[in-house]
A and B are shown apart, each in its own frame.
Chain A
Amino acid sequence: MAVPLTVEFSGGLEALFNNERSINLSLESRDGSENSPTITDLVVYLCEKVMMDKRRELFVIDGYHVRPGVLVLINDADWELVGEENYVIQPGDEILFASTLHGG
């Protein structure tokens, strides 16, 4: 089932995504099942379908794990509160990826 959501980038990450600060998506689970997609599904999608920039390592490490130093907020709450990569995305969710790695 495709789930509509909004993805936002900040802290310099937008540079990896065509300088888009916000994009709207409709996302399905990677395995094509009826399950709702997770954050991991989203990250894979962003890397494979959205990111044009070659510097993938600024966003993910070890495959598709969000790089330490990139904060993820789900509906403005720390993703550490809701299961991080395993969080199941709900229709209308707003997911923000914010890099903390840029100059102070």
Chain B
Amino acid sequence: MSGRSTESIRPLSSATCELCHIRKPSLRRPKTGQKICQPCFFHVFETEIHNTITSANLFFRGERVAIGASGGKDSTVLAHVLKVLNERYDYGVGFVLLSIDEGIKGYRDDSLKTVKRNKDQYAMPLEIVSYKELYDDWSMDDIVAQIGNRNNCTYCGVFRRQALDRGAQKLGIKHVVTGHNADDMAETVLMNLLRGDTARLDRCTEIVTQSTDSPVKRSKPLKYAYEKEIVLYAHYKKLDYFSTECVYSPEAFRGTARALIKNLETVRPSAIIDIIRSGETFTLERKRGTVATKLGTCERCGYISSNRICKACVLLEGLNAGRAAVQVNGSEYEPHEGAALHKRLEHLSF
């Protein structure tokens, strides 16, 4: 309401920044519609992230926190802003860059080079953990060569999530921050809604998540930061980041949800934050008799899991069986989906 009344007083195209009233505006904020200059933009962008951090009590003094660093725009902006805020507000947090080398030729090779430069630019230690070290010598390229292109995001998702946690554990770190932004959050809310995934729907907007199968806490300091502003921040600050799509393309459904979010943003820029707010406000009633899953450890790898065998080990089992099958048969073996792979393996005898 107050925004509306100010707008009617002010001339339609304000020649100066709406915050400092001195400099020329450089952008229009999607969240508020304000036209602001670069220095004011840096200030509000950083301050909002600081407010997100303090109102959620995200860090404590002396804490060691790993930044999940892919070399992409989101994690690069996250690392940069966390360094700025840690110094400006004296959080007293020790940040470490943590990167996963999935073993995707031409993709991670280049993005890891970016992360290595970030290490010097932000004066943060860097730890790189490879799939090969973590998953029985399987790189993502090996996995795709075996299962085909269809279902590899299932593998990428499960393996990548555990890899960050396992890498953090290796460093004795219990908290990983990731670069998920407001657009990602809104997209996740929509996807859970469209899929009827009520178990995830009312938790997916939480800033801190501790999933049942991980001893490591996850948080998302950029959850209210619009992608548009992240890209502009990186651009105006001339941050060094890498921007090529992962060659193993994401699931079509996620792409569709993303396009929908972007179209909504064009018509109504506040839609992104509104969807997140809706997600935050949902409280879903649990059916009686739902038993909380009991935490145990994976029989194979000892990793914390709500099942007898953790997801990563189930997937690995399929992969290893496939590798054995190829060796036994000595013939070409080309299943296209994980499920199909399991099915066919049931009929094989070794």
Contacts and interface: CB of A to CB of B under 8 A. Distances in A.
A68 B263 contact: yes
Contacts of A98: 231, 235
B26 A104 contact: no
B102 interface: no
A77 B236 CA distance: 10
Contacts of A102: 72-73, 243-245
Contacts, number: 73
Contacts of B263: 68
Contacts of B27: 77-78, 80-81
Contacts of A31: none
Interface string B71-83: 0111100000000
Given A11-B243, A103-B245, A104-B179, A78 B231 contact: no
Contacts of A11: 73, 231, 243
A24 to B, nearest CB: 21
Contacts of B236: 76
B235 A103 contact: no
Given A12-B245, A68-B263, A68-B266, A100 B26 contact: no
A67 B258 CA distance: 12
Interface string B1-30: 000000000000100000000001111100
B309 to A, nearest CB: 30
B181 A104 contact: yes
B46 interface: no
A71 B229 CA distance: 10
A101 interface: yes
A39 to B, nearest CB: 15
B70 A78 contact: no
B74 A77 contact: no
A90 to B, nearest CB: 16
Interface residues of A, number: 21
Contacts of B266: 68
A100 B241 CA distance: 13
Interface in A63-104: 67-69, 71, 73, 76-78, 80-81, 98-104
Interface string B92-126: 00000000000000000000000000000000000
B81 to A, nearest CB: 14
B72 to A, nearest CB: 4
A11 B227 CA distance: 12
Contacts of B181: 104
Contacts of A68: 259, 262-263, 265-266
A99 to B, nearest CB: 8
Contact of B231 (A67, A80, A100): A100
A22 interface: no
A78 B232 contact: yes
B329 to A, nearest CB: 37
B245 to A, nearest CB: 5
Given A68-B265, A69-B262, A81-B35, A100 B228 contact: yes
6 contacts: A12-B244, A15-B244, A69-B227, A81-B26, A102-B244, A104-B180
Interface of B: 13, 24-28, 35, 70, 72-75, 179-181, 184, 227-228, 230-232, 235-236, 243-246, 258-259, 262-263, 265-266
Report, nearest first, the 6 A-B pairs whose CB atoms are least far apart: A104-B74, A78-B27, A68-B262, A69-B262, A80-B28, A68-B266
Given A68-B263, A69-B227, A69-B258, 19 more contacts: A11-B73, A11-B231, A15-B244, A69-B259, A71-B231, A76-B236, A78-B232, A81-B13, A81-B25, A81-B26, A81-B27, A81-B35, A99-B243, A100-B227, A100-B228, A101-B258, A101-B262, A102-B73, A103-B70
